[in-house]
Structure 1
Amino acid sequence: MRRTTKASQPLKSKIEVPWDTTGVANAGSPQSMPLDQIVLPPNQPRRYFDSEALKQLTESIKQHGILQPILVRPLDGEKHELVAGERRYRAALSIGLKVVPVVIRELDDNAAFQFALIENLLREDLNPVEETEGILQLLSLKLGRSVEVIPPLLYRLQRLHQKASTVTHNVMGGVEAESTNNAISDDEGDIGLSTHNVMGETETDDSALNHEPAVNQDLKIVETVFDGLGLMTWESFIKNRLPLLNLPEDILDALREGSLEYTKAKAIAQIQKLDERVAFLEQAIANNWSLSEIRQRISEKKTSTTNSQAESNNYKERFTAATTKLRKSRIWSDPKKRKQIEKLLAQLETLTNVE
């Protein structure tokens, strides 16, 4: 599940991080610091780490040391808070390093969190759920809105953008068609009138993108964030990533942990019953089923359920038909057959009482 499309130098994003660059502590030169002076932030945006990738990093640090300094910011006293480089910090901690290279910068809470988000988003081993959540957090900071309102805002911008594109396409098509038709005529007045009418429609029907400065500004900020990250377009994010967050929580947990690919997750999410889905998910991960195997097993499961329901309905139809005939039958006057009916009724009553 390792992606190879991300920047090879993750800290060199085109997105600007507004930290304070005044003071000697912001000179940016690497220095050594005792590892026990570094503490993790309370709101680290990253929660899951690829165990295999972390193991490889640990082995690399054992052999070559930490090649890229850890970014920290000063706290009260001698302690410093980690801003970027938690994987290096964890690896150093696991092998018992006492001193690590660091770069110290004066950053406020907002800038530190923003920097950590960008650094995490440009890592190759970040899972798609955390990547999606991280982008939403970054947009929240850039747009000055809560994370919860970002998805509806993106969908609104998408609708307005599509409407503007459609109107522009239709109007340009109208101008071309009108001009071509009128070119046959020698009446220049008609040509001028038609062109004016079409352009008038453009002004009347144009979307809120041109008439609402705030909306237009939001779109520019969104485009700048995605251009800076270089991971995907904002339209692609809306189409392919936002739906991911609607998956069941058990599926999202598996994605966050890196134990399941996104395509497999979407397939397994089709199983509606929680207990069945959880059991299927555990089997799929344990046996490393391919996407085609998962789809085949789900299809077989649906077929089996459908057959079972059909069989159940068949029993009901047979019972209804039998009772209908029984009411009209003359066997009620036959003592022997009445005893058989009483016996069958007793068995049915016993079955219903067990339920």
Structure 2
Amino acid sequence: MNKRPTEPYKIRGVEALFGSESEPSASDSQTLALEQIVLPSYHQPRRHFDPISLEQLATSIQQHGIWEPLLVRQQPSNPSRYELVAGERRYRAAQQIQLSEVPVRILTLTDEEALLVSLEENLYREDLNPFEETLGILDWLAVRVGVSVEEVKSTLYQMNNVAKGAVNQNVLVSELSDAIQTGFEELNLISWQSFVSSRLPLLKLPSEILEALQNGELAYTKATAIARIKDEKLRGEILQSAIEQKLSLNQIKEKIAQLTKPTQFSIANSPKGRLQDVVRKVSRSEVWKDPKKWKKVEALLVKLEALVESESMSGSEGSQPEETQGDTEA
């Protein structure tokens, strides 16, 4: 993934719509009563607002105020209300500390323009999780190119197949793929190839993992590791442990290895495998260091040895008549 710009982010959607010279500046901002601002009817890229992060932002606003004005547009149906275009975290933090008014920049935007600006503003903020960013990029491309999200996904998969030489590209797909590729270059967040290989698979994750990822309870790398577990019950147990115990990626991988190992033995259902597994566990536990436990183990070993010797003797006696019979026939 490409590195995000280190300079303060300038909303490219606004610049593209108004031009670099006529773009509203910070001095054009004004204040609005918080109760006059309403959330948009279309969904925002951000699905989850981390309570701790929101609390920190609220504290910062309380101490230093809101440095970057919220972007709003006037509602055509109700001129006294303003629809939030960008800055939902600041809006929610202001609500949390019960601010009466906030700084805003009022823009004149169509529905499509408002959605583009909103998506861009959110995509260039680092605190979107990979799932939210994936959905945001798909939404942005769909609006930018003028097709549905499903068509964007389908075209991306076709582009990937063409790149691999699996299929030939027709003219219509070629035009759409060129537009999508240009879109990725404009965003400069991630290449379309990396998006197909590492981001689109997120949309196919099991529902419980997708929910945890969407709610910010699980990192992207941890989610993909747990998703590889085929057993639903085991996957659920590891997912719960990862969230509750805040396990690292390495700890999750170790836990998966530990819990899937017995499963492999049970699938094989081999007596020899079970015996070897018990011996390994006894060796690792160093049970002989505990006198009480070792006494019990020793009693079991005596019985096991007696059983093995008994079986060995009965096997030898059983073979004797066959040898005798063989001599007689000879």
Q: TM-score, normalised by structure 1?
A: 0.67
CA–CA separation in structure 1 for the residues paired with 2:217 and 2:114: 29
In the TM superposition, what is the alpha-carbon distance from 1:65 to its structure 2 partner? 0.4
For 2:236, which of 278, 284, 290 is the aligned residue?
278
1:117 equivalent in structure 2:
119
Larger relative CO (CA 8 A, sep 6+): 1 or 2? 1
- Asked if 1:304 corresponds to 2:262, the answer is yes
Alpha-carbon contact 1:121-1:131 (below 8 Å) kept: yes
Q: Which residue of 1 aligns with 2:40?
A: 41
Matched, 1:253 2:211: yes
The aligned residue for residue 244 of structure 1 is 202
**1:130-145 equivalences in 2 (<5 Å):** 130-145=132-147
For 1:6, the aligned partner's letter is R
Deviations 1:251-288 (A, max 9, x none): 11111222211111111112234343223211111112
**1:17 offset after TM fit, Å?**
7.4
In the aligned structure 1, how far is the partner of 2:229 from the partner of 2:162?
35
What 5-or-longer segments of structure 2 have no aligned partner? 273-330
Deviation of 1:142 after TM superposition, in Å, equals 1.8
Counterpart of 2:67 in structure 1: which amino acid?
L
Partners of 1:18 and 1:111 within 8 A in 2: no
Q: Which residue of 2 aligns with 1:263?
A: 221
For 1:1-355, what aligned pairs fall within 5 Å after superposition?
Answer: 5-7=3-5, 8-13=7-12, 19=17, 29-45=28-44, 46-75=46-75, 76-163=78-165, 208=169, 212=171, 214-311=172-269
CA RMSD of aligned residues (A): 2.8
1:123-146 deviation digits (Å, cap 9, x = unpaired): 111000010111111111122211
Counterpart CA distance in 1 for 2:221 and 2:122 is: 22
CA distance in 2, matches of 1:217, 1:235: 17
> Is the deviation greater in 282-291 or in 78-87?
282-291
Q: CA deviation at 1:302?
A: 1.7
Distance 2:79 2:141 in 1: 33
On the 8 A contact 1:17/1:115 being kept in 2, the answer is no
Retained in 2: the 8 A contact 1:226–1:233? yes
Q: Distance in 1 between matches of 2:189 and 2:94?
A: 29
Shift of 1:90: 0.6
Partner amino acid, structure 1, of 2:257: S
Contact residue 53 and residue 125 of structure 1 kept, 8 A: no
* 2-structure distance, mates of 1:87, 1:16: 19
Instruction: Indicate if the aligned counterparts of 2:141 and 2:152 stay in contact, CA closer than 8 A.
Output: yes
Cα separation, 2, equivalents of 1:270 and 1:310: 21
Q: Aligned residue pairs: how many?
A: 264
Are the counterparts in 1 of residues 11 and 117 from structure 2 also a CA contact under 8 Å?
Answer: no
Q: Is the 8 A contact 2:38 2:84 kept in 1?
A: yes
The answer as to whether partners of 1:74 and 1:106 remain within 8 angstroms in 2 is yes
SS for the counterpart of 2:109 is coil
1:161 positional shift: 4.0
Letter in 1 for 2:61: I
Where does residue 291 of structure 2 map in the other structure? none
**Cα offset, 1:238, TM superposition:** 1.0
Moved more, 105-114 or 216-225: 216-225
> 1-side partners of 2:11 and 2:31: how far apart?
22
